[in-house]
Amino acid sequence: MQIWIIRSIAFLSAFLLFQIELIVGKILIHQLGGSYLVWGACLVFFQMVLLAGYTYAHYVMQKFDFDHYRRFHLVFILLPLLFFPGRSLDLGMGSGNWPLVLEVFARLLISIGPVFFILSSLSIIWQSWLSRSNLPQRDTPYALFAVSNLGSFAGLLTYPFFIEMIFDISQQQTIWRIGYMVLVLLQILAFFLVPLREQASSKNVQSVITPFNKDFAVLPWFSYGAAGVMLYIAVTNLLTLDIAPIPLLWILPLSIYLLSFVLVFKRKLFCPRWVISRVDVLLGLGVLLYFALVYQIFPIIIEAGLLLGLLFLVCLYCQHEIYRSKPTDSNDLTFFYFVIALGGCAGGIVTAWILPLISSSLVEFIFGLFLIALTRSIGKRESILTLPNIVFPLILLNILMWAPRLALKLNYFHFAGLLVVIVVLFILMDRNRITTLAALGLIVVFLFRIEPQWLKLNYVYSHRNYYGLARILEQQNIRFLLHGTTIHGAQITTKRGSFLPLTYYTPNSPAAEILINDKNLKDVAIIGLGTGALSVYLEKNQRLDYYEIDPDIVEIAQQFFTYLSMAKAPVEFIVGDARQSLASLPNKKYDLIIIDAFSGDSIPTHLLTAEALELYRRHLTAQGMLLFHVTNRYIHVAHPLFKTAFSQGGLVGFKRTLDNVLKTFTSDWVLVTWSSERFQHTAQQFNWMVVNPKAYDHLRAWSDQYSNIIPFIKFPLLLKM
């Protein structure tokens, strides 16, 4: 019974840890804007506090008599009752005076900082407790880490598929607070049922590990910990930016990363021998898979499956190497986890914060593979300046540089041939780990020259920041703006055709029809800039405000496209999240607000909630209208919008059009207004379909308290190229 209580504590504490991450992350995205920067700041905060929790656990386990600490621990776990969950969760409201990252850190620190810190330390504390107990399982305390990661895995997967689908944010908080009280009761019960061995209660300062102790593999703990985090974040970026911009895919790489810990740290370790013996081949396959993704050889679902499968195998290897070199003395257990957490925190900061600002490609994936090869080479007495170390890396570099040129279009047959060559080459290089390290290092250095050879399209400009990857493509005298893999507008580069908007904004598009023919529109707002194409439809007596969250998009639209310079109406740019910006301008009134932020990347659900519609309505004139551009390859954006608009008493119309220029772009638009006169006039004049509210009675309206995108994913389209 005692061991099951301890296992329940390890499982529940990790489960609650990941659940609160997702809950507060969703709240902050609604409050501070739907950008990746908000979630990225949350992730780094969680990693830093996790490191702080591991540091605390290491310090108290080494410096204090454990029997005395056990008594203090009962007080320690009750401290959060002075904050959250003892009080309701209050993240406050943004001041607008701080940088966004500092705003996120400050609000998280004050609200959930204490309870998150305590939860992050429990896994290690209870492993130490178990190792000092008189239970038969005391000799295998590391198995408790597998139970903890299983709890993390469960917390991660149950949130989008169960918790989020059924409960709103306030209900989720209530359930979480009950869960924490159960956790407290379990620990009080364990205090009385899990006594210490007499000799285990005394402290052992002599056993404290230092980084200079050569008997321990401190550097591999750090670097393998960093590599695992870098790779799961890199795979997340590849899935969401270069394959399919679906938020659900954010949790899959992290789930696999946690699963690798579960399988390796359990009582009977799982890691196939061929993974350990042929990891160099896996690194080579990772390189080839990266360029296959760049070239888009496979359908989306196959690309995702291959990428996640490779991540699983490589993470298994990393966790196996960490576990294999773990300290044998349980007194060193806390420092072991501290170093792993330190590496993970460093890997997360580099991948989430640094590389997006210094790289225009997803180099973190290749760099993560390189870090594994580097760690494998540490301490190996192998020759460096040998013929294989020079020749094999150069052969690999030339293969990757010239392979895309061997055929007009690479197919599965060509890819199979490349696969055989890469496997053979890395088997040969496996004889000397320095050779593999040199090969991967060469790819990292020359990635900026190799990747353009694999891109099927001629990108003339590429720019990456915290909001994603923006590229400019020129093809047959047409310049396209892409964000990730989604087209956000285009323009003819010749002087004669440059005045004509393309893609979703051609003259026959619903937005253009209204802007051209409705002479009563004086003030117009557009959320989402893109190329600025819609600005050419306004006249001198009108005003246009563009709300754009990414400041670099403003520069790109002005530098590479001429729509804004051709605009007759005065144009003002308001940079920042649209909801935050509109809330700070209470007196602004518009005749038309166009919300054009759903065609790609992660869907900003906070722009579709009942509170968002209420905010838009406050900024509309009596006859004002909302026009939503809801075209999206993978999400039925219109369906939850219909239900939410009806819940707010709105009148709703829908229209789908095919552009009359390129004949290839279909666009979907939703009209919402609270003026029956304006709605009837617009619907009749421009042939809008009137949406019947009864057809969507079965759906649940979205709010800042509830939104769930999974039921609206177009899963069959994931099977297509």
pLDDT, one tens digit per residue, over 321-330 is 999 988 887 7
Number of domains making up the chain: 3
At residue 257, the pLDDT reads: 94
Same domain, 263 and 189: no
Question: Quick one: residue 193, left, alpha or beta (phi over 0 = left, psi -120 to 50 = alpha)?
Answer: alpha
Same domain, 297 and 230: yes
At residue 36, the pLDDT reads: 62
* Domain's final residue, options 428, 456, 484: 456
Same domain, 194 and 280: no
Q: How confident is the model at residue 202 (pLDDT cuts 50, 70, 90)?
A: very low
202's tokens: 């005394």
272 is a domain residue: yes
Query: Is 209 in contact with 337 (CB distance < 8 Å)?
Result: no
Q: How confident is the model at residue 468 (pLDDT cuts 50, 70, 90)?
A: confident
Question: What CA–CA distance (Å, rounded) separates 476 from 502?
Answer: 14
Nearest CA-CA partner of 545 in 529, 533, 565, 563: 529
- Report the SS3 class of residue 93: coil
> 329 vs 2, which has greater pLDDT?
2
Place of tokens 């992730």: 43
Instruction: Determine the Cα angle at 583 with ends 577 and 584, to 5°.
Output: 90
Same domain, 631 and 566: yes
Output DSSP code: residue 635. B
At residue 196, the pLDDT reads: 84
352's tokens: 């989430």
Torsion over CA: 396, 398, 399, 400 (sign): positive
In this predicted structure, the answer to whether residue 660 has a pLDDT above a threshold of 90 is no
Dihedrals phi, psi of 701, to nearest 5 degrees: -65, 145
At residue 433, the pLDDT reads: 86
658 is a domain residue: yes
Q: Model confidence over 373-382: pLDDT tens digits?
A: 999 988 776 6
At residue 352, the pLDDT reads: 85
One-letter amino acid at 8 equals S
At residue 249, the pLDDT reads: 67
Domain hosting residue 108, numbered range: 1-199
Q: Model confidence over 499-508: pLDDT tens digits?
A: 999 999 999 9
Average pLDDT score over residue span 346-360: 89
At residue 205, the pLDDT reads: 40
59 is a domain residue: yes
| Max avg pLDDT among 38-47, 82-91, 313-322 | 313-322
Average pLDDT score over residue span 594-622: 88
Least confident segment among 104-113, 565-574, 612-621:
104-113
In this predicted structure, the answer to whether residue 204 has a pLDDT above a threshold of 50 is no
| Max avg pLDDT among 180-189, 237-246, 398-407 | 180-189
Same domain, 423 and 515: no
At residue 538, the pLDDT reads: 96
Residues in the chain: 721
Same domain, 143 and 244: no
Question: What CA–CA distance (Å, rounded) separates 142 from 206?
Answer: 21
Q: How confident is the model at residue 14 (pLDDT cuts 50, 70, 90)?
A: very high
At residue 580, the pLDDT reads: 87
Query: Is 41 in contact with 24 (CB distance < 8 Å)?
Result: no
Mean pLDDT, the chain, integer: 88
At residue 208, the pLDDT reads: 42
| Max avg pLDDT among 18-22, 136-140, 414-418, 644-648 | 644-648
Same domain, 282 and 385: yes
CATH classification of the domain holding 673: 3.40.50.150
Q: Model confidence over 229-246: pLDDT tens digits?
A: 999 999 988 887 655 445
Same domain, 117 and 193: yes
Question: What CA–CA distance (Å, rounded) separates 110 from 679?
Answer: 47
285 is a domain residue: yes
At residue 718, the pLDDT reads: 64
Nearest CA-CA partner of 679 in 648, 656, 655, 650: 650
In this predicted structure, the answer to whether residue 206 has a pLDDT above a threshold of 50 is no
In this predicted structure, the answer to whether residue 267 has a pLDDT above a threshold of 90 is no
One-letter amino acid at 88 equals S
436 is a domain residue: yes
Pairing of the two strands 620-629 and 666-673:
antiparallel
Number of Cβ within 10 Å of residue 666's Cβ equals 11
Question: Quick one: residue 383, left, alpha or beta (phi over 0 = left, psi -120 to 50 = alpha)?
Answer: beta
Same domain, 134 and 225: no
594 is a domain residue: yes
Question: What CA–CA distance (Å, rounded) separates 422 from 406?
Answer: 16
Average pLDDT score over residue span 188-206: 70
154 is a domain residue: yes
Q: Model confidence over 88-120: pLDDT tens digits?
A: 888 765 555 667 778 888 889 988 999 999 999
Same domain, 195 and 218: no
For the chain, the straight-line distance linking the first and the last C-alpha, in angstroms and rounded, comes to 53
| Max avg pLDDT among 20-29, 109-118, 461-470 | 109-118
For a pLDDT cut of 90, what percent of the chain falls above it? 61
At residue 408, the pLDDT reads: 61
In this predicted structure, the answer to whether residue 643 has a pLDDT above a threshold of 90 is yes
In this predicted structure, the answer to whether residue 677 has a pLDDT above a threshold of 90 is yes
In this predicted structure, the answer to whether residue 681 has a pLDDT above a threshold of 50 is yes
At residue 241, the pLDDT reads: 67
Torsion over CA: 479, 481, 487, 489 (sign): negative
Q: Could you tell me how far CA 432 lies from the centroid of its own chain? A: 36
Question: What CA–CA distance (Å, rounded) separates 241 from 238?
Answer: 5
* Domain's final residue, options 171, 199, 227: 199
Least confident segment among 35-39, 261-265, 668-672:
35-39
Place of tokens 């042939």: 687
Same domain, 69 and 154: yes
* Domain's final residue, options 152, 171, 199: 199
CATH classification of the domain holding 44: 1.20.1250
Same domain, 28 and 87: yes
> 214 vs 606, which has greater pLDDT?
606
Q: Model confidence over 330-345: pLDDT tens digits?
A: 778 899 999 999 999 9
**What secondary structure, in 3-state letters, does 18-36 show?**
HHHHHHHHHHHHHHHCCCH
437 is a domain residue: yes
Q: How confident is the model at residue 719 (pLDDT cuts 50, 70, 90)?
A: low
Q: Model confidence over 474-489: pLDDT tens digits?
A: 988 999 999 877 889 9
Average pLDDT score over residue span 388-402: 90
